[in-house]
Chain A
C-alpha cells in the first residue's frame, strides 16, 4: 500500500545527543514536511522540501536539521541545540495540487 512511514514510533534521547527521525514515502510525492506537535499548540512547521536536494526552514527550525537526498526520504535530526525536544513529530508529503498526507508520528522523549 502507498503511504508514509515514520520510524521509530517512540524514541528516547539523552542530554547532549543528536537523534534522527526517519520519514519514508512511496507515494511519489515531490513535497515533504516536518511538523512538531505540542499539547494545546496545534502543529508547527519545522522544515519543508519541495524537491530533491532542496529544503527550507519553517517557523521553528532552530535546533533541527534535515536532508533530502532521495525523493522518498526526508529524515529529521534533532540536535543537542534543541533545548526542549520532547514532542510528537509528524511527517507529511504532498503531490501536485493535493493536500498533505501525514504519517503516524514519532514521539520523542528525554531520558
Chain B
C-alpha cells in the first residue's frame, strides 16, 4: 500500500519570499502524485499532478513540483508567495490502476506581511 509523509506540520513565510513544501512517498511502482490546497472550511483544489514524463511539473497559482524517483520525493515550490497562499497543502499518491488517493497529514502555511 502507498503512503505519504509531509514532514512539516506548519511553515511560516514572509510575503514575497520563496516557499518549499516537502513530500515523501512510499510506493512500489511508479506513482501518480498530486498536490492539493485547502482554504479553511472548503474543499480541496488541485494545484498540480504528475502522471509521467517531465519530472518538473507546472501548476496553477505559480506553483511547481519536482518528482525525484531516487529520493521518493515530490516537493512543491513557489518563488514568491502572496498573502492569498496562506492555506493547508496536501500531498497525495495514487496507484496507477485504481486512483485511490493516500494523503499526507498536510502542511499549514502562514504568510506574514
Contacts and interface: CB of A to CB of B under 8 A. Distances in A.
Interface of A: 4, 6, 31, 33, 40-45, 48, 50, 58, 90, 92, 94, 99-105, 107
Contacts, number: 48
A6 B43 CA distance: 10
A48 B9 CA distance: 28
- A-side interface mostly: strand
A99 B100 contact: no
Contact of A101 (B41, B46, B98, B99): B46
Contacts of B103: 42-44
A100 B105 CA distance: 18
A100 B43 contact: no
A101 B49 CA distance: 12
29 contacts: A31-B99, A33-B101, A40-B9, A40-B106, A42-B90, A42-B104, A42-B106, A43-B44, A43-B90, A43-B103, A44-B103, A45-B100, A45-B101, A45-B102, A48-B100, A58-B100, A90-B44, A94-B99, A99-B46, A100-B99, A100-B101, A101-B46, A102-B36, A102-B44, A102-B45, A104-B42, A104-B43, A105-B43, A107-B41
A58 to B, nearest CB: 7
Interface of B: 4, 9, 34, 36, 41-46, 49, 90, 98-106
Nearest to B44: A102
Contact of B105 (A42, A48, A104): A42
Q: Which 10 A-B pairs have the closest CB atoms?
A: A102-B43, A42-B103, A102-B44, A43-B103, A104-B43, A42-B105, A99-B49, A103-B43, A105-B43, A99-B46
